[in-house]
Amino acid sequence: MVELVSAFVLDLFLGDPPYSWHPVRILGRWIERAEPWLRARFSARTAGFILAIFLPLATFVIIWFFPELAFQFHPVLKSILYVYFLYSVISIKDLDSEARRVYTALRNDKLEAARQNLSRIVGRDTENLSEEEVVRGTVETVAESFVDGVLSPLFYAALGGAPLAMAYKAINTLDSMVGRKTPHYKEFGRASAKLDEWANWFPARISWFLIGLGTFFINGRTQEAWRVAWDNALDRSLPNGAVPEAAFAGALGVELGGTNYYQGQKVEMPKLGYPMRALEKTDIRQAAHLMKMSSWAALAFALLLSELSVFIFH
């Protein structure tokens, strides 16, 4: 429990320094090296399936082994490694910084810079977006990333410590790198995309409640956040990201979703929320603040879940 809180606080105030041996960057290099090797020996779908199964399992074993080995030298070393790995999978500070970078550009009337900053955190085409579409893209990304960058890592850390949290991050990294629905990755990334969908299914479904709690400390629109998420996402077969996006839409009193373009291809996303007003640049700042407050609610949930797991299994 102390390790999880320590990792959370470290990320909240420090974020992730950009160094090459960051665990997630190491995962990325493994994926880059494994993909051509597997493609040369198996069909695209089989190669992708092998990678999607092997990488999370290998990550779990490695992250379990090294802290246990360190424990043989001194118990504190195991705790330090656990904190380090948990700190590496949480992304509160970085997500907040990326969102605020877009907001700062818009506040200074630099739309092109805002588009470029947004392109760092979204997969959609950004070069022709209006200011309102840039705001929408940023708010949607902050909402969706609350699940895979904060809630899901905390959820799996509560259930299985650093090994399970890092295994989840391996799944999430696979999806971000090879799970894209482009012709090149349509078959190879199929298993990674499906595994990420399964891994985030439950955290996404409880995110509506935690975002509602966070909303209470932002503007008091807790009931609206819960109602919009329930009406727009929880009762429909929509992607996992629709749940937190709908809750954010209700919390801010705006409508999210609509038309996006990915590599020039038009994709219609479901409308979430109610168009009470047009999106404004200050909604980015509000969304970032909401994400951080919801993260505290997620931490409380993870700590409760961790205690419950100890009680049940011990």
pLDDT digits (tens, 9 = 90+) for 184-231: 888 888 999 999 999 999 999 999 999 999 999 999 999 999 999 888
Q: How far apart are the first and last CA of the chain?
A: 16
Give the tokens for residue 130.
């209006």
Highest mean pLDDT among 139-153, 235-249, 269-283: 139-153
Residue 125, pLDDT > 90, answer no
User: What are the φ/ψ torsions at residue 266 (nearest 5 degrees)?
Assistant: -75, 130
Q: What percent of the chain has pLDDT over 70?
A: 97
**SS3 assignment, position 259:** strand
One-character DSSP codes across 199-235:
HHHHHHHHHHHHHHHHHHTTTS-HHHHHHHHIIIIIT
User: What are the φ/ψ torsions at residue 215 (nearest 5 degrees)?
Assistant: -60, -35
